[in-house]
């Protein structure tokens, strides 16, 4: 019997989940929940790391005794350590404006096609490579002072006494990791003036990296998306015909492959190759996700209108279908603030119907998300030659029944929704494998399929999604020409 403590930290909050494995099954409970609120200092947006560490210790205190502990977080962000192993300042938030537009400027340093061939990552301003490039230009003294870079999950583990490591899945989000050789890309590091010595030794997911109060500190799949994918329930033998959607602040939609796809066509499609906990390539697209709904709700609350998520889902259901769309990944939606106002501006700017009410704005967001999902599924099918028959929705977004049914209807694929706690469960099964309680991730997936509550959504379209998709594709095409 083993007891493990899984810390799952997302862009808006974190949880500590305690799981007990006994007699071939496990049960788990949330023992601590906390907010993750960035702080702004002198015009820079940071993660409030010291507050987060205090919350980690509060979760440990509430959990009591456990045998293993592991951390998963969002991708790309990091902390820098000096030669004495001390953190230099606070980790900067990926939404900080310092990297705005930097990926386009980077094309003068290394051609985008070559950068993609080396790393296989979707080229995005937020990626670690561009954060380091911005830091080197804006604050060269701090850059020179840095002895080690630790990605966020490894930094949390280090704060408890783990040795400095660089876990593979989180490294693969950085735009500096060679997806084929599975090590750092020397051509990329050289081109951007980033020293190889900055990085700690690699660690496989499931590596024990230290001891904390008699418990093993385990470097699980540090990237939360890869934890969620690790928990994709094995309900059939057709994993190769499945797509997954890790549905939270970000929507990460993809499929598992044995090798990366590094063609120019893949790059222009905005697809990314990231390493999974089971050493497969997760070939996916990063799409702005429930952030649009979360931030809209925050804006309305600031205005004195405190809607619950259920209120917003209901109001969207009452609004007229397929009136107007946005591209969730348009740059206007990346920064915190008045998302409802930006949705209105986008629709007006693109000559569409302009939503008038919160319900119409929500309907626009819902439909735009699922239309982007369908667009991405078709891209994945074209690039891999596969025809997908199962759509696994994982994470907190599966609680939104409208989103699940819209996805099934729009994509024309059966949706298997759940588990809600996919990221934490992936964290847990990787720890259990490291401790010897289960053989591997595949056994963990079967265990999850047999114990977790899953809901199936069969395509039953009540609106003309085909017509809506044609209009949506025309919108994307017209915006790409601008």
Is 427 domain-assigned?
A: no
Q: From residue 57, give the alpha-carbon distance in Å to each of 66, 165, 208, 239.
A: 14, 21, 20, 38
Domain limit, last residue, from 170, 203, 223? 223
Is 426 domain-assigned?
A: no
Annotated active-site positions, please?
224
Indicate which CATH number applies to the domain containing 102: 3.30.420.40
Is 152 domain-assigned?
A: yes
Is 143 domain-assigned?
A: yes
The whole-number pLDDT of residue 93 equals 97
The whole-number pLDDT of residue 334 equals 87
Q: From residue 92, give the alpha-carbon distance in Å to each of 98, 152, 224, 225.
A: 10, 11, 18, 20
Task: Looking at the structure, tell me whether residues 156 and 253 fall in a common domain.
Answer: no
Query: Which among 363, 460, 375, 343 is positioned nearest to 403, based on CA atoms?
Result: 363
Task: Looking at the structure, tell me whether residues 113 and 249 fall in a common domain.
Answer: no
Is 425 domain-assigned?
A: no
Is 430 domain-assigned?
A: no
Task: Looking at the structure, tell me whether residues 218 and 251 fall in a common domain.
Answer: no
Is the CB of residue 45 less than 8 Å from the CB of residue 93? yes
Total Cβ atoms within 10 A of residue 69: 29
Tens of each residue's pLDDT in the chain, 482 residues: 999 999 999 988 999 999 999 998 999 999 999 999 999 999 999 999 999 999 999 999 999 999 999 999 999 999 999 999 999 999 999 999 999 999 999 999 999 999 999 999 999 999 999 999 999 999 999 999 999 999 999 999 999 999 999 999 999 999 999 999 999 999 999 999 999 999 999 999 999 999 999 999 999 999 999 999 999 997 656 666 899 999 988 999 999 999 999 999 999 999 999 999 999 999 999 999 999 999 999 999 999 999 999 999 999 999 999 999 999 999 999 888 999 999 999 999 999 999 999 999 999 999 999 999 999 999 999 999 999 999 999 999 999 999 999 999 999 999 999 999 999 999 999 999 999 999 999 999 999 999 899 999 999 998 999 999 999 999 999 987 65
Domain limit, last residue, from 175, 204, 223? 223
The whole-number pLDDT of residue 482 equals 59
The 3-state secondary structure of the chain, one letter per residue:
CEEEEEEEECCCEEEEEEEEEECCEEEEEEEEEEECCCEEECCEEECCHHHHHHHHHHHHHHHCCCCEEEEEECCCCEEEECCCCCECCCCECCCCHHHCCHHHHHCCCCCHHHHHHHHCCCCCCCCHHHHHHHHHHHCHHHHHHCCEEEEHHHHHHHHCCCCCCEEHHHHCCCCCEECCCCEECHHHHHHCCCCHHHECCEECCCEEEEEECCEEEEECCCEHHHHHHHCCCCCCCCHHHEEEEEECCEEEEEEEECCCCCCHHHHHCCCEEEECCCCCEEEEEEEECCHHHHHHHHHHHHCCCCCCHHHHHHHHHHCCCCCCCCCCCCHHHCCCCCHHHHHHHHHHHCCCCCCCCHHHHHHHHHHHHHHHHHHHHHHHHHHHCCCCCEEEEECHHHHCHHHHHHHHHHHCCEEEECCCCHHHHHHHHHHHHHCCCCCCHHHHHHHHHHHCCCEEECCCCCCCHHHHHHHHHHHHHHHHHC
Task: Looking at the structure, tell me whether residues 303 and 354 fall in a common domain.
Answer: yes
Task: Looking at the structure, tell me whether residues 190 and 219 fall in a common domain.
Answer: yes
Task: Looking at the structure, tell me whether residues 43 and 146 fall in a common domain.
Answer: yes
Burial class (CB in 10 A: 0-12, 13-18, 19+), 213: exposed
Task: Looking at the structure, tell me whether residues 189 and 260 fall in a common domain.
Answer: no
Predicted model pTM: 0.93
Task: Looking at the structure, tell me whether residues 265 and 181 fall in a common domain.
Answer: no
Residue 243 phi, psi (nearest 5): -110, 155
Task: Looking at the structure, tell me whether residues 173 and 287 fall in a common domain.
Answer: no
Task: Looking at the structure, tell me whether residues 209 and 251 fall in a common domain.
Answer: no
Is the CB of residue 265 less than 8 Å from the CB of residue 389? no
Is 365 domain-assigned?
A: yes
Instruction: Give the chain's domain count.
Output: 2
Task: Looking at the structure, tell me whether residues 338 and 251 fall in a common domain.
Answer: yes
Is 460 domain-assigned?
A: yes
Domain limit, last residue, from 193, 223, 253? 223
By residue range, what is the domain housing residue 331? 234-418+452-482
Task: Looking at the structure, tell me whether residues 203 and 262 fall in a common domain.
Answer: no
């Amino acid at each position: 019997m083993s007891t493990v403590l899984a810390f799952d930290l997302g862009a808006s909050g974190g949880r500590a989940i305690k799981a007990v494995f006994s007699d071939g099954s496990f049960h788990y409970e949330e023992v601590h929940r906390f907010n993750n609120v960035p702080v702004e200092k002198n015009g820079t947006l940071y993660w409030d790391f010291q507050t987060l560490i205090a919350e980690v210790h509060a979760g440990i205190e509430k959990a009591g005794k456990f045998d293993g502990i592991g951390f998963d977080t969002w991708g790309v962000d990091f902390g820098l350590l000096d030669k004495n192993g001390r953190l230099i300042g606070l980790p900067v938030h990926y939404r900080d404006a310092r990297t705005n537009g930097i990926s386009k400027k980077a094309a003068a340093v290394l051609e985008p096609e070559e950068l993609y061939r080396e790393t296989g990552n979707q080229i995005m301003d937020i990626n670690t490579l561009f954060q380091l490039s911005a830091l080197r230009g804006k604050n060269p003294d701090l850059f020179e002072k840095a002895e080690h870079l630790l990605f966020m999950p490894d930094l949390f583990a280090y704060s408890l006494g783990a040795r400095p490591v660089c876990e593979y899945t989180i490294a693969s989000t950085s735009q500096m990791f060679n997806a084929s050789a599975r090590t750092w890309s020397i051509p990329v590091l050289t081109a951007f003036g980033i020293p190889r010595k900055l990085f700690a030794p690699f660690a496989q997911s499931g590596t024990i990296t230290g001891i904390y109060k008699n418990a093993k500190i385990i470097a699980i799949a540090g990237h939360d998306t890869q934890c969620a994918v690790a928990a994709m329930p094995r309900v059939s033998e057709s994993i190769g015909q499945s797509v997954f959607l890790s549905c939270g602040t970000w929507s990460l939609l993809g499929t598992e492959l044995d090798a990366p796809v590094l063609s120019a066509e893949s790059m222009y499609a905005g697809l990314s190759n990231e390493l999974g906990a089971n050493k497969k390539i997760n070939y996916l697209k990063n799409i702005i996700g429930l952030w649009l709904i979360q931030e809209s709700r925050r804006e309305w609350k600031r205005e004195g209108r405190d809607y619950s998520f259920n209120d917003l889902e209901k109001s969207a259901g009452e609004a007229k279908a397929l009136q107007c769309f946005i591209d969730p990944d348009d740059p206007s939606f990346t920064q915190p603030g008045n998302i409802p106002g930006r949705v209105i501006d986008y629709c007006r700017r693109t000559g569409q119907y302009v939503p008038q009410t919160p319900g119409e704005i929500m309907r626009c967001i819902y439909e735009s998300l699922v239309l982007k999902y369908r667009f991405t599924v078709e891209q994945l099918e074209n690039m891999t030659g596969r025809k997908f028959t199962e759509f696994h929705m994982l994470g907190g977004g599966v609680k939104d029944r409208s989103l699940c049914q819209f996805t099934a209807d729009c994509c024309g694929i059966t949706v298997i929704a759940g588990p809600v706690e996919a990221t934490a469960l992936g964290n847990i099964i990787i720890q259990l494998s490291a401790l010897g309680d289960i053989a591997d991730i595949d056994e963990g997936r079967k265990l999850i399929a047999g114990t977790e509550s899953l809901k199936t959504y069969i395509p039953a379209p009540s609106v003309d999604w085909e017509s809506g998709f044609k209009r949506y594709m025309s919108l994307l095409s017209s915006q790409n020409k601008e």
